[in-house]
Amino acid sequence: MAGSANRKKKRNHRIRLLCLFLEIVVVLTLVVIIGWDKGIGEWMESFTSPVVRELDVTGINSSHAVLMRAKGGKVLGEMNARERIYPASLTKMMTAILALEKLDPEDTITLTNEMTAALAGRDATQAGFQPGETVRVIDLIYGALLPSGAECCIALADTISGTEEQFAELMNQKARRIGMEDTNFRDSTGLHDPDHYSTAYDMALLLKYCMRNDTFREIIESPWHSTPATNVHPDGITFYSTMLKNLPDPYVTGGKILGGKTGFTNDAGLCLASYAEIGEREYILVTAGAPGTTGEPLHVHDAVTIFTRLGEAWQALAG
């Protein structure tokens, strides 16, 4: 009897040890999964490849800037990144990602006079689509992101929500879910409104989220896009990226600038949300507030400057 009792105790002890071991394995697994985006991944990767942990982003044309890792969102450098800005056409990234998530890219939308009437006299950039023209959703998204077409945004917004005001509510709901705590959208285009604001940091969070969508990445990395024939344009329309056309050489020290979205209003200055691959890692840079009076693409120059610094820092670590 005593031997049987001892064997039972030993068996129970082994079971408890096994359960404890399994609990430890589960906890460690959760820590790695949850913590990967919080910096553990970067720490582990640093054993096989150098990791730049901090970078100076000052001394550029823009008054606001933030540089973060696309994977995980770790901020490497910032300048007035949490201060309020007017995001101008960086807003269109939110319009585009909502359209990609809520509409079939191959569906068509017919633009109306009402959709374009709101742009009259507002000096809004347009892709070239006309009232009465029937256009594929995917071409409208290209038109919103590459040439920054305001008419494309309104057509998408009205189709999704019925009105600009209702679409702005949807934009703000999405912003909260992404973690954009200091952002308020009033329209789909980013045309100036004192109550339409964000921060460089929030715009970086938005681009980080958008980059998870393969179609968004394909669009924003395209230097140009040609649409098929429409009922108004039998030869289609070809438009070009407002960023890449001002970036004759995308290669920088240690890597390449892959894509981005520009923005400008007189109140916002020149803005840019861009990303690059440096040393086999992707980084996001958002700048805002560069002077728009010189005729020079100073926001694009700033991106080249910061990504070059990052590449030089990476090469110095790599030896």
d(CA 236, CA 228): 5
Kindly state the tokens that stand for 272.
């840019």
Kindly state the tokens that stand for 35.
């913590």
**44-318 has which CATH code?**
3.40.710.10
Closest CA to 197 of 111, 124, 90: 90
Write the single-letter amino acid at 232. Answer: V
Q: What is the pLDDT of residues 8-32, one digit of tens each?
A: 666 666 777 676 677 676 555 555 5
pLDDT for the residue 121: 75
Q: What 3-state class would DSSP assign to 259?
A: strand
Q: What 3-state class would DSSP assign to 263?
A: strand
DSSP 151-213: HHHHHHHHHHHSSHHHHHHHHHHHHHHHT-TT-B--SSS----TT-BEEHHHHHHHHHHHTTS
Contact indicator for 171, 185 with CB cutoff of 8 Å: yes
pLDDT for the residue 283: 98
d(CA 144, CA 271): 16
Non-local (6+) Cβ contacts of 319 within 8 A are none
Q: What is the pLDDT of residues 195-232, one digit of tens each?
A: 999 999 999 999 999 999 999 999 999 999 999 999 99
Q: What is the pLDDT of residues 112-149, one digit of tens each?
A: 999 888 787 788 899 999 999 999 999 999 999 999 99
**For the chain, which residues make up each domain, given as ranges?**
2-38, 44-318
Provide mean pLDDT across the span 66-83: 97
Kindly state the tokens that stand for 131.
């009232």
d(CA 319, CA 284): 24
Q: What 3-state class would DSSP assign to 313?
A: helix
Q: Is residue 2 scored above 70 in pLDDT?
A: no
User: Hunting for tokens 């109550």 — which residue is that?
Assistant: 195
Q: Is residue 36 scored above 60 in pLDDT?
A: no
Say what percent of the chain tops pLDDT 70. 86
Please report which confidence band the pLDDT of residue 6 belongs to, taking 50, 70 and 90 as the band edges.
low
Within a 10 A sphere around the Cβ of 125, how many other Cβ atoms?
A: 18
Measure Cα distances from 256 to 72, 74, 209 in Å: 20, 20, 20
Q: What is the pLDDT of residues 271-318, one digit of tens each?
A: 999 999 999 899 999 999 999 988 899 999 999 999 999 999 999 998
Q: Is residue 111 scored above 70 in pLDDT?
A: yes
Is residue 9 packed enough to be buried (19+ CB in 10 Å), middle (13-18) or exposed (0-12)?
Answer: exposed
CA 90 vs. chain centroid, Å, equals: 9
pLDDT for the residue 41: 56
SS3 percent helix, strand, coil of the chain, rounded to 5, is 45, 20, 35
